[in-house]
Homo-oligomer: A and B are copies of this chain.
């Protein structure tokens, strides 16, 4: 499994992804699931992946090869004129990779499927955040739905819904994501540290601060341990249920 979240803020976009891949519980590995494509001053694009690892690696490799040899073949993620075109390119590449394997007489969908989050900004446009489906189509984040999750989305969703605020600082956003990831990691063995993060600052059109939160990260431990106590305090602060005297 996987857990990746991209959230749109007034100040930009924050991305976070875990790094665990597994094929059964007895075959786990660590792979990066966050990739950035950059031309400083012109664009910064971040892609996060969930699903079949062979599929997502092929998609990223195709996007990278094409971007490194612009004369080779179009379209090219570093030459798309808008984030909408980028999402179309990523979607088309994803669909192409899945179809290639499905057409070999193998089972498709579940087996080769993958879902991606694509976000960033191209000079002259606004920051955009997309969720790309295995079929190659996609949806865009909006004021009503300002964040996307892929992979194991459920455990970490309630806190995202309750605490998200589009005016929050990047620091608060990372704290929120860590709480959401912590709930997910506690409940699903196939989501695990280390976590990669990237903070894209609006209108910078270049890759922002990035980092990796390792297994023994002291801040993550403070959040993880502190959140349990904070939740119990919050729970205790709610008024008591009054049991009816008779049923």
A: residues with CB less than 8 A from B are: 154-159, 161-163, 170-172, 174-176, 178-179, 183, 186-187, 199, 207-211, 219, 222-223, 226-228, 230-235, 237-244, 246-247
Given A154-B187, A234-B230, A240 and B175 touching (CB < 8 A)? yes
Given A175-B241, A226-B238, A187 and B209 touching (CB < 8 A)? no
Which residues in B have their C-beta under 8 angstroms from that of A235?
A: 159, 163, 175-176, 179, 230
Which residue of B176, B210, B238, B243 is within 8 Å of A223 (Cβ)?
B238
Given A186-B158, A223-B238, A235-B175, A170 and B230 touching (CB < 8 A)? no
Which residues in B have their C-beta under 8 angstroms from that of A187?
A: 154, 157-158, 161
Chosen A-B contacts, 7 in total, with CB atoms closer than 8 Å, are A155-B157, A171-B243, A209-B246, A219-B241, A227-B238, A230-B234, A234-B234
Q: How many monomers of this chain does the complex have?
A: 2
Give 5 new A-B contacts, CB below 8 A, not counting A157-B187, A170-B243, A226-B239.
A155-B158, A159-B235, A171-B240, A171-B243, A210-B247
Which residue of B230, B237, B238, B241 is within 8 Å of A238 (Cβ)?
B230
Q: Are A208 and B247 closer than 8 Å at their CB atoms?
A: yes
Given A222-B238, A241-B178, A247-B208, A231 and B155 touching (CB < 8 A)? no
Q: Are A234 and B244 closer than 8 Å at their CB atoms?
A: no
Which residues in B have their C-beta under 8 angstroms from that of A174?
A: 241, 243
A222 and B242 alpha carbons, distance in the complex (Å): 13
Given A154-B155, A186-B158, A222 and B239 touching (CB < 8 A)? yes
Which residues in B have their C-beta under 8 angstroms from that of A247?
A: 207-211
